[in-house]
Every structure is written in structure tokens, then in C-alpha cells.
């Protein structure tokens, strides 16, 4: 009974980790999206000027 519970607990940890990582990735993507788009835009402009 205890082994089944421990196995079940381990099985639950993985999807939870996946969800947490996915949420973190989305959060970081949203935070960086505006910054990176501005940076890429300025890099393209600098390249065009040169």
C-alpha cells in the first residue's frame, strides 16, 4: 500500500513540474518579448544604417 502511494506521489510530481516550468516559460517569454523585439528592431536598424 505504501509503495503504491509513493509511486503515485512520484507520478504526480512530474506533471506538476511540467506545468510550473511551462508557466515560468510563458511568464519569462511575456516579460522578454517586448525587450527582445525592441532589441532586434534596433539591431536591424543599426545594420541598415551601416
The answer to whether residue 45 scores a pLDDT higher than 90 is no
- Whose cell is 511551462? That residue is 22
Residue 50 has pLDDT above 90, yes or no: no
Q: Is 50 helix (H, G, I), strand (E, B) or coil?
A: coil
Q: Is the dihedral of CA 11, 14, 17, 35 positive or negative?
A: negative
| b/e 10-41 (16+ beta carbons within 10 angstroms → b) | eeeeeeeeeeeeeeeeeeeeeeeeeeeeeeee
For 11-29, how does the pLDDT look when each residue is reduced to its tens digit (9 = 90+)?
778 888 899 999 999 888 8
Amino acid at each position: 500500500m505504501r509503495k503504491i502511494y509513493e509511486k503515485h506521489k512520484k507520478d504526480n510530481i512530474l506533471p506538476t513540474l511540467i506545468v510550473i516550468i511551462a508557466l515560468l516559460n510563458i511568464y519569462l517569454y511575456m516579460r522578454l518579448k517586448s525587450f527582445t523585439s525592441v532589441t532586434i528592431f534596433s539591431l536591424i536598424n543599426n545594420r541598415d544604417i551601416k
